[in-house]
Each structure stands twice: as structure tokens, then as C-alpha cells.
Amino acid sequence: MRPPRADATTADGRRASFSTLDHGSATLAGALVGQVDGRWRLLAATALPAGSSPDALVRLLANRLDAADPAAARAIGSASPGAPIPWADVPRLVARSRPGANLAVIAATERTRARLEEAARGAGWSIVAGSAERTDPLELTRLATRPGVVAVLVGVADPPGADERELATEIAVATAGIAARRPGLRILLAGPVPDEPLLALRHAPAIERLPAPDGAPGERVASPLRDALAAARGGPDDSRRALAAAAGSLARVLGLRIEILEIGVSGAARVLASPRPADDGETRAAVQLVEAPEAALFRMDQPGSIDRIDHWFTQGLDRARLRDRLAELAIAPWSDLDGDGALLRAAALRAALERLLVATDAELGSAGVDLVVGAGGAWSAIPGPAATHVVADVVRRPGTVQVAIDHARLLGPLGTIEDDAERDAVVADLAADLLLPVGTIVMPRGLRPNRPAGQLLLETAGGRSEIDLVAGGLTLVDLPPGARGTAELAFRGTPELGPRGRHFRVAVSGGLAGLLLDLRDIPLRLPERPDRRRELLGTWERALWPEHDA
Amino acid sequence: MIDSLDLVPVRAHLVSRPRVRLELQPGDRVIAVVGDEIRVGDVLAERIRDPRLVETPMPRDGADQGIPLPGTWLPGEHARAGRHAGAPAGELLFEHGGRRRLATGPHPDRLLAPGDGRVLEVEPGVALVLEVRGIGLAATELLGEPHSGRLVVLPEDSDPRLALDVALAGAIVVLPGRVDAEALARARAMGIHGAVVGSLAERDRRDLVASAARQQAGMHRLAPFGVLVLGGYLRRAFAAAVQAVLDAAAGSTVGLVGDPALLLLPEDLALRVPQPDRIVVRGGTEAGLEGRWLGPGGLRRGRGGITVETGLVSLDDGRTLAIPIGELERFAALASSG
């Protein structure tokens, strides 16, 4: 659905408006957007647990707007004073997060299986896999008929290798056997897999032909197969795919290199978008999206995943209890909000972010960007300033970066607007509203720990401040949202802050956390002893999380 | 009409005439056929143990009646003079290159109907789909196998290690208090068919699954045993609406199934439907309390510094509190199975 044009009024004289809904696995987020002084503005936003009624949410927001600014509410929602505001009738932009559905991968050889797995995982599928080369037909049948498997991806290379030609027919026949048992199972054929055995079935399954796998085994690369698999998994309103479109708009509108780190309960994704001047004078954006279901917030099925959460958790908790609390959160993500439940979420977010970077660095790299945006429900479950600390702890790259949160969960719904120019226009109007600035991180590499490192001179419209820098810790400088300034850093050594040097002058902008000077090691080194690690992490966390000990 | 009560997620805890799937694996021999009326305890399939793959030559022309489909159970063929080595009985996986791949093995175990109903679908080697005549009480997970038995509700303050004895053999026991893997292993050893628990810690789940795997591998296997978990991992009392259902079903024959996880109850059970505005607090400091919905409570900043939507709830103990909506749930009227 398209939002109405910003300069339009409706037939009954109301100003243009629309609502957005982001249906996540754990959270239903909604917002009201309306025209104010000829621009789209965010009027109200909130989030509720998934399962709440979208209509009730929109009505809650409308009532809240009505209570806060009745004149604006009437102008936007209703032509006649006293009449009920027909918010149910205003256009809605809806994005939906698709849970990581299970895909059975059947390949002729182990080499092709690895390629298919990489493509499918990057497209957000959860995988069970086998190959005719290593797995017997009984086991292949069992894995493809497991509860929860919704589709089978069968593939061979194109052209098939000498060892694949005979096996290609065998896996096609085995797949026909599976399809005969499970009517309705989706069959995806990648590469020259013969489809005759499937078509010969009495109730032939719907077959989707996809490109053949390419790239080296185990290498995550963008590929037509991955795009096709992503399209096969999500629909046009899939929120993770929509994030990529929204990131492109942000990059074009703001002229910045954008990185979106999306962490949810059922999956995760990383998007990079960079503006590129085109020959026609317009600005384009290069956008890369990689999904990583293994980085879902409370996913604990990988070796060491509990250990990493324990590593970041600042409260002492025995391992069995920690596992139970995380498992409970996976079932009921909105429970346990008070006290150390929020700290536990922050620890789980750090661990998930680590998994996301590990899963995507090979393809997207670890180069610096201008703006990191936290998206998805995980970022809403911790206070805004603490989000800066989470990014600083995990995304260890020398340089200066702004951090913001998609606080109203608008990026997904806006990303469903198909036309780039139309979406860019809405994003341009809403840019100041849709991203909540939480701070700027300045992170040099190569300082000698626990020694005076130099000086910072911060110049803003409000004045100048000088701060002595000590390597090895975090220094927080008050810089409120909306404030802009210049930071001059004079180091005693020659650390790396993008380039290597002694003097740097960088533009900084404010946020809920302000300016965070992170003079810790890259990569971050923490004490081995759990009590000392918790104490150190807790000290840093308290600075950005006033309710830490509540 | 949109009501603010719709802000609170609704839990469909009772399902009318549920459709349930009983998992099979390739090589299981299905006895039931589509359309069969079944009674609780009827044998639906013979379970294969230690399935193995065998390749056999295609039979001589005319030996099969038509072309068998994958999933078809094929009788054994005797060896004949010459080069034909014969074939064991088994389930056809597929035919390729002039040879058949079969899943075969011994079938010492039985899959029994967990309730009265009708066979809707048979997916050989995958699942049996049943429509159960009765009501299903929603749970989160079944550990172990589907089963049935007389429902016995133990008092909340009972110690399962003392309360479980052989007099309960064949029963499905509701354990409202603290439960661990040891108590469940003891229940299984007593011949109890299954247990219904409010929650079970991860460590106890793993112990239970490991114990079941050891049984699976053993020569002398115990009878099937299922543990139905109604909640999650942290100990919590049953909601009053759930407790009322369990109390009403006490003494009747019930079943445990895992897909979806349900406690199957008799059709003629007299159940009290919870009031529509009845609210249960499922987490936080007021966890386990219940009350009545009054309306939205606005945005509040919690102790952890997170701002969330709240709802005003008049609790049964007389207090009126603004509680995060994420901590609340309500029960729907009887839902029908899709």
C-alpha cells in the first residue's frame, strides 16, 4: 500500500495520514504518521506484545494523540469536530517478520551442499542438510520429513561435475519419494536437477526452479540463488527485505554510509547501504543484505552461545538458571522486564550481535560506516543510552560513528513502499523522527592502556570543553540529541582513527548517551576471572544505564 | 467494536475437536486407514526400531499389483533359484536404476490412539493426522511419546517422590508442585503413562530426554511415557482457568499429544468459560495473580529503565495496579481447530 501524498488532503477535507505496523515475532509495533506543515511527521508510536490487536494499537495511538493535541488529531483524523477519528480507514503500511522457516537441503555432493547451505542461510532459512554422496536415502528422507520442514531445496552445480551427473537423477527420484509422502511440501530445484520423477507423481508438487549454486563452498556471497531463496521465504511485505529498501533510502537521503543491525527473536539481518553518485546526477545506493538466523536474540543451539551471554552478563547467575531464564524469554520475550531482566536482554543482545558479525563479516566486511542503526525488537528492550554501549562493546572498529535506533519500527513498513523516489520522499521528511540518535562513538586503536592518551577539545554551539583522555576506559561527554559539534583529538601516540595519526578533527552529533570516547583495546580484552569481568563491565554499564542497580 | 481489552494478547487455551499429528518415521507400518473411527488405545501403527536401508532388485514382472508409490508397505519376497536373492518386508523409499530402496527393521512397539476420533490423513513415514472428538487443553511442549490414561491431579503441596506409587500405574498424573527428572523417571518406572507439569527446567528436560534415549536403545524397553509441559522453564503455578479444567477432568480418560501440544479431554466435560475481561499476570513481581481488566494504563518506565505500555488491572487481592501489557494475558473462549 502507498502512503498518500504529503501535500494532499483527503476528499472529506482531512489532512493526509497513514499508520504503520511492524509485525515481529515477539512485538507488534505501530505508528501514526501525518502531514504537519507540509511534511510527514511521526505523531505517535508504541509497541505491544505480538498477539495484541493491530486495530486496538492504532486506536490507542489515536486516543493518545487526541489527548495530547486535540486540534492536530482532528485536523488529521476527522473533518467534523466531535466525530470519531476513523483511524481504521487511513492507509496502512505493514511489514511482517517471517520466522526462520526450516528448509531441507539435499545436494548431490558435499561440495554443492555447502554452497546451497550458505545461500539458504544468507536468505534467512534454518537448515537441515545432507548429500547423496555422504547421506543414505533413508536419512535424507527422514531429514526432509522432519516436523517443521516446509520446503526442500535440491541442487546440483551447473554444469554438473562428473560425480554429480548420476547422483542428480538419484536425488531427484529420492525427492519424488519425499514429495509423495508429504503432499504440499514446496520443492525448490537449483541447477539442472531433472524434474521428470516429480512430474510423474500422481499429485505432482509445485516445483520452483531456482538458479544453480555458485561461489566457493562455505563462502557467503551475494548470488541470484540467495536472492531467489530470500524471495521464496518472505513475501513482498517481509520486514527484513524491506529493511534493505529503507536502508537504500536513508543512504540516498542522508548521503551517509548506513549499517543496519537488525536483531529479532526469530532472526537477524545486517544491511549495508552506501550512496553512489550516478551519471545522470542523481544519487543511487549500493545495498547489501545478509540474513543470519543463527543470530536470533535467544537462540542457544550453537556451541558456546550460553557462554557468550554469560560472558557479557553483569550479574552472577548459575549456568542452569541462566539457561532457564533465556529459554523462558524465547517463549515469552516480553516477560522479565524489570531489574536484571533488562541486563540479561542486553547481554543476549551483545552475544547475538557477535554472532551476526561473525556470520556476515566474510561477505560484508568490517569497514567503518557513518551511521549504525539498531533495528528490531531487541534494541527496544534496553534503554536508548545503553544501546550505544552495546554497539561500542561489540562493533570494535577504529573510527567515528553515529548510533541511532529505529525506535518506532518505521524502517520495515517504509521499506515496503515499492517506488524508490516515493519512499525517499517520505524518508526525507521523516528522517529526523524515525531515527532516535543515541550518540556518537569515537574509537581509536593503538593506545597504550592505563596511560594518559591526550586531549579532546569539543566545540559546539553551546561552547567549548576540554577533556583529558586516559586509554583503557570509556569517557562519556554530555552532548544532547540534536546538538552538533567538532571534536579535536590530540593524542600522545599515533593511534588509528580511520587513518593513523596524532591529530584528528571529526564531526560529532549528540544523542541520549552523548559522545562516547571509547579508548579501550580493539579487540576488547576483558579479565578472565568472571567476578572481575562482571565488575568491570558493570562499571561501564552503570555510566550509561542509571537504572542498572534498580 | 474495538475494545482496549484487545491490547492484551489472548491465549486460546482450549481447542474444540483438535486436529493432531502423530509423528511417524520411514519404516513404521501404518495400520489405520483414512476415515477409520478410532477409540482411545487402538493400535494405529507399528513402530520400527533401528530402521535400516536395504536395496533390493525389482520384482519379476507382475509380482506387484500396479506400481507401488513411495511410502507403500511391501511384503517380503522369498529368495528364488537363480540370482534373485529375495527381499525383506519394508516401506518403499523409491525405485531407481532397476533397484528398490526399502526401510526395514523389527516392529516391536505400537503407536496407540491418544483419544477417540477419526483418521483424517495418513502420510506414510511422516505423520498420521487425527481429528479428536473432545477438547484440547493447550500446552507448550510434549517430551516423550503420546499416550493416554486416567487423569489424577495431585495436590499442590504433595512431594512427587512420595506421592507417586504403583497405584497410579496407567494414569496421567498432574504434578502441580516442583518436579525434577528424578520424579519423572520414578513415575515412568511405576508404570505411570504420563505427567502434566506447569514447567520444567532445561536440565531436567535434558535428563528426561537422555533417559528416554537410553530406554530407546535398551533391549527391554519400558512402556511409552510422555511429559506435557503447560508453561515454560521457570516454576509457576497453574492459572486458575487451567487448574479449573484439570480439576474438572480429574478421573476421566485423557490423552497427551505433541503436535500441537495438547492434553486431550473428553467431549462431555463441563467447563467453566473464563470471563472475557479476566486477566492473568504471567510474569514480573505479580506473576501468578489474576484480576479484571480496567483499561490502558499508559506508558510507564520500569525498574530496569525500559518504558512499556501498561494496563490497569484490578487484582483479586483488592489492589489496582498498572502492569506491563507484556506481562499480561487472557484466555479465549473455546477455539476450533484449524
Q: pLDDT per residue over B100-151, tens digit each?
A: 899 999 888 899 999 999 999 999 999 999 999 999 999 999 999 999 999 9
Burial degree of B166 (CB within 10 A; 0-12, 13-18, 19+): exposed
Q: Check whether A1 has a pLDDT greater than 90.
A: no
Judge if B135-265 and B272-336 fold alike in CATH terms.
no
- pLDDT per residue as tens digits for the range B260-289: 999 999 988 888 778 888 999 988 888 889
Of A337, A545, A546, the CB nearest to B326: A337
B330, B293 Cβ separation under 8 angstroms: yes
Global confidence as pTM: 0.90
CB–CB contact A335 B327 (8 Å)? yes
Sort out which chain A residues have CB atoms less than 8 A from B201's CB and list them: 320, 324
Kind and range of the H or E run holding B82: none
Q: Check whether A132 has a pLDDT greater than 80.
A: yes
Q: How far is CA A502 from CA A199, A454, A490, A497, in A?
A: 69, 9, 6, 10
Is the pLDDT higher at A280 or at A9? A280
Q: Does A336 touch chain B (CB under 8 A)?
A: yes
A57's grid cell: 494499537
Provide the percentage of residues in chain B whose pLDDT is more than 70: 92
Q: Which range among A40-54, A163-177, B50-64, B134-148 shows the weakest confidence by mean pLDDT?
A: B50-64
Is the pLDDT higher at A55 or at A70? A55
The mean per-residue pLDDT over the stretch B237-266 comes to 94
pLDDT confidence tier of residue A6, bands split at 50, 70 and 90: very low
Of B51, B140, B304, the CB nearest to A331: B140
- pLDDT per residue as tens digits for the range B172-186: 999 987 889 999 988
Cell numbers 528416554: residue: B212
Q: Alpha-carbon distance A357 to A350, whole Å?
A: 11
Q: Alpha-carbon distance A327 to A322, whole Å?
A: 9
Which amino acid would we find at residue A496? E
Return the SS3 of A518: strand
How far is residue A21 CA from its own chain's centroid? 17
Is the pLDDT higher at B179 or at B338? B179
The mean per-residue pLDDT over the stretch A296-309 comes to 92
- pLDDT per residue as tens digits for the range A183-211: 889 999 999 999 999 988 878 888 999 99
The mean per-residue pLDDT over the stretch B182-197 comes to 92
Sign of torsion over alpha carbons A64, A67, A72, A78: positive
Which 361-390 residues of chain A touch chain B by CB within 8 A?
381-383, 386
Sort out which chain B residues have CB atoms less than 8 A from A335's CB and list them: 282-284, 326-327
pLDDT confidence tier of residue A336, bands split at 50, 70 and 90: confident
Q: What is the ipTM of this complex?
A: 0.86
B140, B231 Cβ separation under 8 angstroms: yes
Q: Which residues of B83-103 are buried (b: 16+ CB within 10 A; e: fewer)?
A: eeeebeebbbbbbbeeebbbb
Provide the percentage of residues in chain A whose pLDDT is more than 90: 67
Paired with A32 in beta bridges are: A19, A44
Topology, domain A17-95: Nucleotidyltransferase; domain 5 (3.30.420)
Sheet containing strand A463-470, edge to edge, reads: A463-470, A452-460, A484-491, A503-509
CATH class of domain segment(s) A102-233: alpha beta
Paired with B156 in beta bridges are: none
- Cα dihedral B35→B36→B39→B44 (10° resolution): -110
Which 167-206 residues of chain A touch chain B by CB within 8 A?
169-170, 173-174, 176-178, 180-183, 202
A240, A234 Cβ separation under 8 angstroms: yes
Q: Alpha-carbon distance A510 to A524, whole Å?
A: 24
Of A53, A141, A320, the CB nearest to B26: A141
Q: Check whether A216 has a pLDDT greater than 70.
A: no
CB–CB contact B202 A46 (8 Å)? no
The mean per-residue pLDDT over the stretch B216-231 comes to 82
pLDDT confidence tier of residue B258, bands split at 50, 70 and 90: very high
Judge if A17-95 and A102-233 fold alike in CATH terms.
no
Sort out which chain B residues have CB atoms less than 8 A from A332's CB and list them: 232, 282-283
Domain boundaries, chain A: 17-95, 102-233, 239-544
Closest-CA residue to B234 (of B181, B194, B198, B284): B198
- pLDDT per residue as tens digits for the range A407-434: 999 999 999 999 999 999 999 999 999 9
Of B71, B92, B202, the CB nearest to A324: B202
DSSP letter at A294? G
pLDDT confidence tier of residue A214, bands split at 50, 70 and 90: confident
Q: Does A306 touch chain B (CB under 8 A)?
A: no
* pLDDT of B137: 96
Q: What dotted CATH number matches B272-336?
A: 2.40.10
The mean per-residue pLDDT over the stretch A67-77 comes to 78
Sort out which chain B residues have CB atoms less than 8 A from A343's CB and list them: 304
Closest-CA residue to B309 (of A33, A339, A64): A64
Q: Which residues of B246-284 are buried (b: 16+ CB within 10 A; e: fewer)?
A: bebbeeebbbbbbbbbbbbbbeeeeeeebeeebbbbbbb
Domain boundaries, chain B: 52-104, 135-265, 272-336
Q: Check whether A463 has a pLDDT greater than 90.
A: no
Q: Does 3.50.30.10 match the CATH number of domain B135-265?
A: yes
Number of residues in chain A? 550
* pLDDT of A301: 87
Give the HSE-up count for residue A307: Cα atoms under 13 Å, Cβ half-sphere. 4
Q: Which residues contact B224 (CB under 8 A, 6 or more apart)?
A: B109, B112, B144, B145, B146, B147, B193
In chain A, whose CA is at the least distance from the CA of B327?
A335
